[in-house]
């Protein structure tokens, strides 16, 4: 059973996907049947897609379902697995922190710019990247802390995908 925040985020993702479907399908029907359309549909669906993709990537990381080298790593000894996990998590953490820094700058700059049709501040759109990178960084820091403090069991060293969505 997933914790409440994960269920809430998944429900939010379903709502975003539903809104995208309604906007895009409604716009297609209006264009081809009634020769009109919803002006903000394309822009709003693109923004929803960005949020949906990045929040989805965060949930995939939570479920430990990202692609990895588990076939190779699983054949190594426990100490080598710990070193590989340390290097992988530390490298990913560095990338997430760089991404968060750049995303923060984009959010700051984007709050002064507005989308042409919807008028939404672009900083709100770019905030999806900031939330995703900070969320991933938090998960990686927790993983590194557990690894370094010896709280990570051997069976956790090589993430096994295929369990997400259960």
What pLDDT, on the 0 to 100 scale, is given for residue 161?
Answer: 58
The SS3 of residue 114 is strand
The alpha carbon dihedral of 62, 106, 121, 41 has a sign of negative
The verdict on residue 161 lying in a domain is no
The verdict on residue 130 lying in a domain is yes
- Parent domain of 129: 4-156
The verdict on residue 84 lying in a domain is yes
104-139 per-position pLDDT tens digit: 999 999 999 999 999 999 999 999 999 999 999 999
pLDDT at residue 163 tops 70: no
The verdict on residue 165 lying in a domain is no
Contacts of 125 (CB under 8 A, 6+ apart): 47, 50, 51, 110, 115
Measure Cα distances from 64 to 6, 121, 129 in Å.
14, 33, 19
The verdict on residue 46 lying in a domain is yes
pLDDT grade for 1, boundaries at 50, 70 and 90: low
pLDDT at residue 166 tops 60: no
The verdict on residue 128 lying in a domain is yes
What pLDDT, on the 0 to 100 scale, is given for residue 82?
Answer: 93
- Number of domains the chain contains: 1
The whole-chain average pLDDT of the chain stands at 89
The verdict on residue 45 lying in a domain is yes
> Residue 112: what are its φ and ψ, rounded to 5°?
-90, -15
DSSP alpha helix (H) spans, 63-77: 70-73
The verdict on residue 163 lying in a domain is no
Per cent of the chain over pLDDT 90 is 67
The arithmetic mean of pLDDT across residues 25-50, rounded, is 90
pLDDT at residue 165 tops 80: no
């Amino acid at each position: 059973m997933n914790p409440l925040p994960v269920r809430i985020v998944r429900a939010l993702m379903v709502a975003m996907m539903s809104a995208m479907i309604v906007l895009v399908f409604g716009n297609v029907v209006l264009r081809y049947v009634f020769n009109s359309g919803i002006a903000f549909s394309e822009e709003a669906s693109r923004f929803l897609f960005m949020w949906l993709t990045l929040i989805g990537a965060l949930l995939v990381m939570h479920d430990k379902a990202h692609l990895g080298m588990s076939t190779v790593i699983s054949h190594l000894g426990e100490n080598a697995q710990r070193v590989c996990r340390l290097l992988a998590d530390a490298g990913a953490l560095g990338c997430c922190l760089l991404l968060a820094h750049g995303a923060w700058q984009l959010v700051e700059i984007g709050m002064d710019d507005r989308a042409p049709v919807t008028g939404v501040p672009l900083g709100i759109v770019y905030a999806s990247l900031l939330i995703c990178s900070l969320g991933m960084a938090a998960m990686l820091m927790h993983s590194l802390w557990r690894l370094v403090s010896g709280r990570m069991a051997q069976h956790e060293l090589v993430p096994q995908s295929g369990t997400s969505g259960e």
